[in-house]
Structure 1
């Protein structure tokens, strides 16, 4: 054999060896994949052909004390886009499909595209992007019409990857026409931060597609109402089309919140508040010479002995249904608009107003427990001079020497001016001493003013006690601003008033003077309260001095009707006022209703059968019209109503207060007809509604008033 033939044979052997080695390696690899690792890879392949779809739970109900639904659920058509299918389309096909969907659902194509972007990815828009499973169709339109859904379902070839199905959304049955928006609250989609926080604590009740409570009961009791989501695993083909269910984990409906609200009473309160505001807007203000603005108002009804909220209304209000399916920018702007009266703000718990003469019973308690007696007699002239300024009675009335009871009955300002001035002279003539004692301030704080009541609703305002410490703190926070104005020559842009005020404030804005003390004694000046705070304090006057933390919820009930939690009334304090003084004030406030400043609105009311104590208030606010108040209570209830820029207390709200009392006790003319009362038995039920297996709710057994 030649040398060349030997080399050719060697090459052939090498090639054969290489080929054999390659086939051996391939065989071993195939054996490993199919035999040794077969089950693992089969499972992975199977997993790639199924997707997890979140099944949102049905949110729990919110019902009133009789079991009437205040918030329930209804089915709604939801249009979603499957991004898996969209990604398989060409760019032009995708754009055309999104455009077609935008036309059908009535939303801009850009808005739909923004909803399809996963939160945290490039181009995601906060509170618009998708937080849910990447394998789940993304909702782009909620609460659409049935015709829209049918169009998509009947023409699937024109809408590849578009899903139309029914889901539950919030519904507002509005028994007796109630609104109750500020108490109930609303829902909106979970934010990216909230979703991340839920994942950190492994909160299984929330997912990227959840809606959460944003205000009111919906927010306060969100963890009970939201329920637990379920999961549906669906098999899909290579194009992402659903072939069928692989497995299902059922969702768990949310729990029901039973409230102390009575829908029938709530309806009366809402109607009366709205009617009184409308009526006052037609009345002429004798001070300004123009009609009353009556720009806002609030009304509260509490159980006097428990602090439970029976009714609570605020004006202006809004329709809570605007949040269902997503709120538009125009609607949201309206809710926050000052021109529209900021409808989203609850005047009952968040509105803060000067209390006017409704403040005087607490000043009476402060005086009686700090040196004055029930036999004290003080002049009630038309005005009281403090320095170079006269502080006047309302309409400059004069009543001679009177006691506390008469001063409350006729609402004598100058009587209380003298009390405030006396304490200032005794303890506070050093205007810079922030620690100087003030018995009237102490008493106001004793009744809970200047701090939140602790109601089980979010966002409550604390009010403000304008005492020495507050004035010093305010001065420190504002002095740089006003001193900057005062240190420069006056310009045309600065009015005489502003320039003079700035100079005085810069020099002595910290000083707590006698004028501050006398204004405080009649609920004027910088002291402000919420209607709920005032109602809680009046309840303490009538129930022996107990301050209750107002509550809206009474119980949490499971979907099966099991009571999971009872929410008992909670005492938050007790005022240190002797019972004899509370009784004295109580009798004086009865006379306000019978023959005092509220008597002209209560003529013919059966006061012997239903004893009503009341106090009117007309708070003057710089640059605005008078704020009108009436605070009243019986043995069972407290009723407070306020109208900002609405005129005098009894003149603006008196008729509404009377109508509410008539509804609570079934008053017809001069008779009490308990059967006509808004609440059976005229008192709120202690029992809870009965929840049946079929989901229906029976009212508590009616109790007769003893």
Structure 2
């Protein structure tokens, strides 16, 4: 036995004593650390944790403002707000008693799944009652309040919904609102938007969102440890949005929509003896523009729909019927986004290019034999010869007669002359002139979703060949391509708003304005916040002599027996209200042609241009011109008043201002300024009074 293994009586071994010392040191170290931590928490960081404790008891709830109203130039209400009652449930109660949701569904007569979906929406506030049903009747609310044992934690609150007193009128122009999507929230979070907020999704609602939205309010709520609201510490009320005043005239808008829809209904499924085909379900668009300011006083797209379908929870079936092509896609604004082959309406650009470049003069005559043969063409007679659409031959004619009679041969010849003299006139003189009129690029109209259109060209054909080699096997630009482009065929497509703007440019002497839907912004007190003056986009230079020659040709379209619309306007009082115009019949392979007609007047100082297109509507003179005549007959007999700013008028039949979000007696002031004449998902367009919440701390 070694010395180190010996033990003394009454004492443990050396290893035991060492273990006891180690444990003692560890316990001592833990006590020191605990004391240090307590000192840090209770002394050094007391202010920080006091703030966190306070934040755990305080929540901020955002209150949505009523959106601004949308009115026409006469302060007639187009889009308003309707105060509605909504049912809300206390989340802490539902967590313990989920059967409450079933009782609500039973009382309201709706599927339980609808109530559950609203309750479980991630866009609901975690610190405020959850809205599960909107537009609840007074009787239902009274019953629920009288039976608290069946509906514990259920209460009602006031909110607003969009209301459309004019029904389907201008639906595509006005647009609609819905809850902000996840992608939109990511885009607009910096502007203060939160989950559950309402945001404009189309039309004026979208393009003027920053004015219509208003300023959200804020409630600071006191919350207990269980998350239940026990008091309100502060409340900043929301500020309603500003009202948007359109250049649109409501009565004219209704007249335009009626004329367009009546003509389309008349043509649809009838037999066309000229083409020996039956018309299909047709669609179309119309635009009325003040030629001297660019103000859009009417814009129609058909088929149309009632935007109130977006209010509340839209069903999938209802959503399909307003968005899918087989139902006509009535939410699609064909006036700004529909692209149509222009046909002979394109001759505006070709004639302007030929005259302004010196290729021809107003005194140049060409012998129309009824057939144009491409010189030195050897690919076959079917591809070398072109004829007038009606196989007519007019003999010796100038540009004025060619426009009046819409003579194709004359314009084939112009296209060929440019093609054969590229060293003198360049490779794209017609395309360059078309661009000056605004064709091939967006007009800048203050509506979302505008299409840019296309003007056929060698560069476009090369691009199409690269992208779609099977559909476009050739990348070259041939003589026949040039001829087709010169009279509005080929790959050229133009929107109705572009067409109206181009002819407005010619009608006013060469100033192209940016089309403007909105005249100004007015706050809830009737004070003007902002007005929009006419904005010049470009100038189209034409000499007085050249312009006069073309003007005479456009006037002859309506007043000359040779004119393509002469018969359509028979009996119209042209002596007191002279008009000028142009037909367009644009061929579409295998289908009826697109029917165009555009006119401006009264001459000699035009005020309005009217453009109508009926998709696959046949000849322009029979498919579209009757609509233009009806619209001009309205303009002839009705005065479009100046824009007024002030408080909106109460719609007929309305008994309270509150129903439409109007709080004061309406007054109006006349403007003396120069303002002139698709999210593809279902959802809710209801804005409850309190919608979204942000957690602080």
The TM-score with structure 1 as length reference comes to: 0.80
Pairs within 5 Å for 1:74-153: 74-87=82-95, 89=96, 93-94=97-98, 96-105=99-108, 108-117=111-120, 129-153=121-145
CA distance 1:555–1:519, change in 2 (3 Å): same
Alignment match, 1:374 = 362
TM-superposed CA distance for 1:626, in Å, is 1.4
**Aligned partners of 2:262 and 2:287: how far apart in 1?**
16
Alpha-carbon RMSD across the aligned residues, in angstroms, is 3.2
Alignment match, 1:612 = 579
Pairs within 5 Å for 1:145-544: 145-174=137-166, 179-199=169-189, 201=190, 203-204=191-192, 206-234=193-221, 245-281=232-268, 283-370=270-357, 371-386=359-374, 387=377, 388-389=381-382, 390-427=385-422, 437-479=427-469, 482=470, 505-506=472-473, 509-544=474-509
**Aligned partners of 1:362 and 1:41: how far apart in 2?**
74
**Residue by residue, what CA displacement relative to the aligned partner does 1:588-647 show, whole Å, maximum 9, x if unpaired?**
211111121112122232223222111111111112111111101111111011101111
Alignment match, 2:555 = 590
TM-superposed CA distance for 1:234, in Å, is 4.9
Alignment match, 1:670 = none
Q: Is 2:517 the counterpart of 1:565?
A: no
- Secondary structure of the 1:415 match is helix
User: Which range is displaced more, 154-163 or 276-285?
Assistant: 154-163
CA distance 1:198–1:337, change in 2 (3 Å): closer
CA distance 1:246–1:604, change in 2 (3 Å): same
CA distance 1:132–1:365, change in 2 (3 Å): same
CA distance 1:658–1:160, change in 2 (3 Å): same
Would you say how many aligned residue pairs link Structure 1 and Structure 2?
615
Unaligned residue ranges in structure 2 (runs of 5+): 1-9, 11-30, 650-661, 677-697
CA distance 1:83–1:439, change in 2 (3 Å): same
Say if 2:74 and 2:644, in contact at 8 Å, map to a contact too.
no
**Aligned partners of 2:54 and 2:133: how far apart in 1?**
32
**Residue by residue, what CA displacement relative to the aligned partner does 1:151-182 show, whole Å, maximum 9, x if unpaired?**
433333222333322201111111xx661011
**Aligned partners of 1:473 and 1:696: how far apart in 2?**
59
TM-superposed CA distance for 1:365, in Å, is 0.7
**Aligned partners of 1:520 and 1:39: how far apart in 2?**
77
TM-superposed CA distance for 1:113, in Å, is 4.0
Pairs within 5 Å for 1:29-44: none
**Aligned partners of 1:54 and 1:700: how far apart in 2?**
35
Say if 2:270 and 2:278, in contact at 8 Å, map to a contact too.
yes
**Aligned partners of 1:43 and 1:701: how far apart in 2?**
55
Pairs within 5 Å for 1:655-666: 655-666=626-637
- Residue 638 of structure 1 is aligned with which of 605, 609, 623? 609
Say if 1:446 and 1:576, in contact at 8 Å, map to a contact too.
no
**Aligned partners of 1:142 and 1:536: how far apart in 2?**
43
**Aligned partners of 1:588 and 1:131: how far apart in 2?**
61
**Aligned partners of 2:246 and 2:172: how far apart in 1?**
14
Say if 1:178 and 1:263, in contact at 8 Å, map to a contact too.
no
Unaligned residue ranges in structure 1 (runs of 5+): 4-21, 118-128, 430-434, 483-501, 667-676
Say if 2:172 and 2:203, in contact at 8 Å, map to a contact too.
yes
**Aligned partners of 2:643 and 2:156: how far apart in 1?**
45
Alignment match, 2:645 = 688
Say if 2:243 and 2:522, in contact at 8 Å, map to a contact too.
yes
- Secondary structure of the 1:54 match is strand
- Secondary structure of the 2:214 match is coil
**Aligned partners of 1:352 and 1:550: how far apart in 2?**
17
Say if 1:143 and 1:324, in contact at 8 Å, map to a contact too.
no
**Aligned partners of 1:311 and 1:696: how far apart in 2?**
28
Say if 1:81 and 1:139, in contact at 8 Å, map to a contact too.
yes
TM-superposed CA distance for 1:701, in Å, is 4.8
**Aligned partners of 1:181 and 1:551: how far apart in 2?**
17
Say if 1:65 and 1:689, in contact at 8 Å, map to a contact too.
no
**Residue by residue, what CA displacement relative to the aligned partner does 1:306-363 show, whole Å, maximum 9, x if unpaired?**
1111000001112111111132221222222111112121110000001111111221
User: Which range is displaced more, 344-353 or 284-293?
Assistant: 284-293
**Residue by residue, what CA displacement relative to the aligned partner does 1:99-150 show, whole Å, maximum 9, x if unpaired?**
3334445555445444444xxxxxxxxxxx4235321223333334444444
The TM-score with structure 2 as length reference comes to: 0.81
Say if 2:342 and 2:489, in contact at 8 Å, map to a contact too.
yes
**Residue by residue, what CA displacement relative to the aligned partner does 1:489-536 show, whole Å, maximum 9, x if unpaired?**
xxxxxxxxxxxxx6xx54xx1121111111111111110000000000
TM-superposed CA distance for 1:696, in Å, is 3.7
CA distance 1:403–1:196, change in 2 (3 Å): closer
- Secondary structure of the 1:258 match is strand
